[in-house]
Amino acid sequence: MNNNEVRMSRRNAIKSIGVTVAATAIGGARAEDAAQAATKLKGHINHSVCQWCYGKIAKEDLAKKCVELGIKGIDLLGPADFPLLKKYGLVGTMTPTSSIGKGLNRKENHAECLDAIRKSVEATAAEGWPNVICFSGNRAGMADDEGLKNCAEAIKQVVGLCEEKKVTLCMELLNSKVNHKDYMCDHTEWGAQLCKAVGSPRFKLLYDIYHMQIMEGDIIATIRKNIEYIGHVHTGGVPGRNEIDEKQELNYPAIMQALVDLKYTGYVAQEFVPKRDPLTSLTESIKICDV
């Protein structure tokens, strides 16, 4: 090989290396862009998460992760935590009131429960946030129709305030088979009848998919039938209330698509207890539900 050939060979090699480096850089940038695009949420589901499931993680760390994932809010944090939510631009998506054990189906609980509801409604409305939770209480021998009548009587005393403040009071549907023995609001039909009895768009149901799969199944058909009464949604894998991945029996992408098709605009809050790394599981759950 003569000197000219050597110089040409070197030039070609350098040119080839330059092209390869440039291509790699472009490819890397494209890969990064693709990764960012892949993690960008579609915007059809308003994502939230229940803080109690992540009790081992500092609330501020959870808030930061929510921002990173595109989660819009956190469920079941009270006024003491509102400054933290506002610091990170998050919404308090469901404000607590009284405990599950203090239900509206017993008149002797009305004064205490309604006082807690009014305070939560006022605090929630002051931030422009959407929902406050309530509970039916247990049967303890009470007939379901009597409990429904008592709940309606109580709710009618505060629903006017809810309408004025533009806050929705949501009664949670819970299973009475595994987790909340004897709880009265344990079937969607009972909850829907209560919504009809109250007769206000500011009283709806917190439809917990985990609980209702245990009690009645037929999730998508039930949601379709009762969508006008559903103001908020919780998730959870069945059985076990753990991750909502392929290891449990519910098809969450199909359920989320049904909500989208029905033009549901409320929040979907992840309420499963992670068995693996909590924040990794939370990340995966958002991807599963982001249809």
In degrees, rounded to 5, the angle at the alpha carbon of residue 204 between the alpha carbons of residues 79 and 125 is: 30
Which among 40, 38, 45, 43 has a CA at the least distance from the CA of 256?
45
CA pair distance 109, 125, nearest whole angstrom: 24
What is the rounded average pLDDT of the residues 11-20?
Answer: 41
Instruction: State the Cα–Cα distance between residues 291 and 286, nearest whole angstrom.
Output: 9
Q: Name the pLDDT band for 101 (thresholds 50, 70, 90).
A: confident
Average pLDDT over residues 20-35: 38
The long-range contacts involving 245-252, CB below 8 angstroms and separated by at least 24 positions, are 245/284, 245/288, 249/213, 250/209, 250/213, 250/219, 252/209, 252/288, 252/289
Q: Where residue 102 falls among pLDDT bands split at 50, 70, 90? A: confident
The 10 Å Cβ neighbour count of residue 230 is: 23
pLDDT beyond 50 at 267: yes
pLDDT in tens, 131-143: 999 999 999 999 9
Average pLDDT over every residue of 164-178: 98
Torsion angles phi and psi, residue 132, rounded to 5: -130, 140
Sheet holding 73-75, edge to edge: 91-94, 73-75, 46-50, 267-270, 230-234, 203-208, 168-172, 131-134
| pLDDT for the residue 67 | 97
Query: 12 vs 133, which has greater pLDDT?
Result: 133
Q: What would the pLDDT profile of 79-96 be if each residue is shown by its tens digit? A: 999 999 999 999 999 999
Structure tokens that stand for 218 in this block = 């037929």
Instruction: Look up residue 7 and give its amino acid.
Output: R
Mean pLDDT of 3-15: 41
User: Model confidence over 35-66: pLDDT tens digits?
Assistant: 343 358 999 999 999 999 999 999 999 999 99
What is the pLDDT, as a whole number, of residue 40? 86
Give pLDDT tens digits for 188-235. 999 999 999 999 999 999 999 999 999 999 999 999 999 999 999 999
